[in-house]
Amino acid sequence: MKKLTWKDDLRPIPFLLAFFVAYVLFTIYPIFKGMQMSFFNWTLIEQQEFIGLTHYIDVLSDPNFWEAFGNTALFVLLSTPTMVVLALMLALMANLNTKLQTFFRGSFFIPSILSVSVISFVAIFMLQPYTGVVNNILQAVGFNSEPFWLATPSLAWVSIIAVTLWWTVGFNMILFLTALQGIPDDLYEAAEVDGATRQQMFWRITLPQLMPIGRLILLLQVLASFKVFAQILLITDGGPGTSTRPIILYIYEMGFQRYDLGYAAAMSYLLFMVLLVLSVIQLRLGGKEGRML
């Protein structure tokens, strides 16, 4: 065995230490602290009482939990495919060799840099009945009705998904775009020599080359969609009624409005388990080569 030397092996340690300490303190420690909390009656002032698995049993028989979970699952099912497919289409557009290339890249990505409060405020403003621009446009083109975008459960979902799509799709697009630019040109050149059509090139070269990044995007997107929270809090606050309340909002309500941190922690861990299982399944299915990228 090679002897560890200061110069080659140990020197990075002091530099990594700072990050490592922060990582343990702010990531590893909270994970275990949270798990501990879920077994206790735990308020913010830490009046603690060990109650074992009671919170988990209560959560599983809590209709509000299942409703919120169902809402979240619905959001994931509806938003994820569009989020991935649309990102791919936008990336292909932004990768075209036209003078509009820079414009496309900029305009597709710009919404991602806005804060959630800004996009939510704009959405509320635009979707208002009577005065909002969306309804005014609809009426201008002949729709003789007044849709209540944020007050009808189905329309509220449409609104939230549309806003989220507009806001976050740019990030996925950038990932696809990077991968597109990483495809070696000689593949296309060879295909051209062989007389392949553009369509064939797309299906046989571009898409397969994009599969690894596509799988990564899908995984990240599912995780992100399951954690949907801020825009719903700000746009509908889970309403009308509780019809758009996602699981994280319910956790937030239990933890920070009812100060029942143990119950909130138990729900967080159930969600964590679901995400873990989904990630493992996706990793197994995705990489025959056993890797994501």
Taking alpha carbons only, the member of 112, 81, 111, 106 closest to residue 94 is 106
Asked whether position 54 contacts other proteins by CB under 8 A, the answer is no
Among 64, 102, 115, 200, contact with other proteins (rule: CB under 8 A)? 64
41 or 80, CB closer to other proteins? Answer: 41
d(CA 293, CA 290): 9
Site string for other proteins, 247-266 (x = CB under 8 A): ------x--xxxx-------
Structural contact between residues 64 and 279, judged by C-beta atoms closer than 8 angstroms: no
Among 224, 240, 275, 287, contact with other proteins (rule: CB under 8 A)? 240
- Structure-token match 């239990």, residue found: 254
Among 8, 46, 49, 289, contact with other proteins (rule: CB under 8 A)? 46
Q: Per CB under 8 A, which region of 28-36, 37-45, 88-96, 180-188 contacts other proteins? A: 37-45
Asked whether position 18 contacts other proteins by CB under 8 A, the answer is no
Structural contact between residues 227 and 155, judged by C-beta atoms closer than 8 angstroms: no
32 or 130, CB closer to other proteins? Answer: 130
CB of 55 to other proteins, least distance (A): 13
Asked whether position 37 contacts other proteins by CB under 8 A, the answer is no
Q: What is each CA distance from 205 to 64, 246, 271, in whole angstroms?
A: 47, 39, 38
- Tell me the one-letter amino acid at 155: L
Among 11, 17, 29, 43, contact with other proteins (rule: CB under 8 A)? 43
The beta-carbon contacts of 199-208 under 8 Å, at least 24 apart in sequence, are: 206/92, 206/180
CB of 151 to other proteins, least distance (A): 5
Site string for other proteins, 150-169 (x = CB under 8 A): xx-x----------------
d(CA 265, CA 78): 27
Q: Per CB under 8 A, which region of 75-83, 122-130, 171-179, 184-192 contacts other proteins? A: 122-130
Asked whether position 81 contacts other proteins by CB under 8 A, the answer is no
Largest Cα–Cα distance in the chain?
81
Asked whether position 33 contacts other proteins by CB under 8 A, the answer is no
Structural contact between residues 111 and 167, judged by C-beta atoms closer than 8 angstroms: yes
Strands 40-41 and 49-50: antiparallel
Backbone φ and ψ for 31, nearest 5 degrees, come out as -60, -45
221 or 236, CB closer to other proteins? Answer: 236
Element (H, E) at 9: none
